Structure 1
């Protein structure tokens, strides 16, 4: 084994033990997958040495605001919250480099991931093909346009994941969930965001929980909340 490969394996071990487990990620499936799927293969070459560090990784050079991989512990805890099963049909908005879609593709039946930036969409396709994920489809689209029309073709979904921050969860997206399905989002503004899980309990009924706080870059073109107050 080369010194470079050895260093990555040591860094991967440290990432799991020092970043991810302390963030209450204890699901054995998730921890095993993080040890198997090489995050460094989804990182731009200029930032490869930082792939397993506890920080957000820019996906453009020079860096473009909002275009990044989330910190490993955030991705890991999100994946744990999703509790993906082999029969699940998944929608992700915000493909980035394809890493989160790859993690989900290893656990679910199929994943559709949308990316607004054509260059990043091509990067995700390349990375996913190289990783052998043939059950993950990347679509170049502005997900929020026309009441989320680009998301409809593979609906209903068991799980929907928004891989960036939003001001509020759009009703049009919730309606694409199967009854019993869940949507995960980071909801709030740049000062305070909360990991939010909305479950579709019935055709017209939803309930939500917000188990932890975090701040992440915003997804582009998502609707802003109504500012009217009584």
Structure 2
């Protein structure tokens, strides 16, 4: 039995594809495992709760009570993978809390595997925030998401120090299609019989990418 993974999807910037990444990962884990627990720490709609209401609950890190409630739910080795869609407004406060409580050491003690998925951008705030995380978190627990719809070109050099996963850009009409609240990635795979379509291949590639990530980063119990 493997340790329980906790995926924390984060960025100090809005509109970089953070919730899209959380949706993809949440649906992949639900398809693979039959269950997933998602936590939506966002101010604006639409958010993860709107897309995956059956497996998502809201959370906040504004005060001590909210922080402890969230940590009590996610730092537990219960075999159910967790996904946290961390709003940009909560980025600094969340990682300040992680540093104060010694999140990585506590997670290790409880057989939980936190994985930070940092959704990249090329602005100064993103570079500075990534550098801070790189110094606080072990390199093997920090992954960069290169959303090609946002990052049009090379990543900032500092971000290439970590493992990089790339979300290929979709044409605008397909991007609009998947942004609908009623859209399901897994539902599309099941309903669309033509596996050669661009969207079908895009979803399958991303699911495979997350499968490989889990296999390589979640410690196995001996």
Q: Report the TM range for the smaller structure's normalisation.
A: 0.3 to 0.5
Higher share in strand = 1
Higher share in helix = 2
TM-score normalized with structure 2 length? 0.35
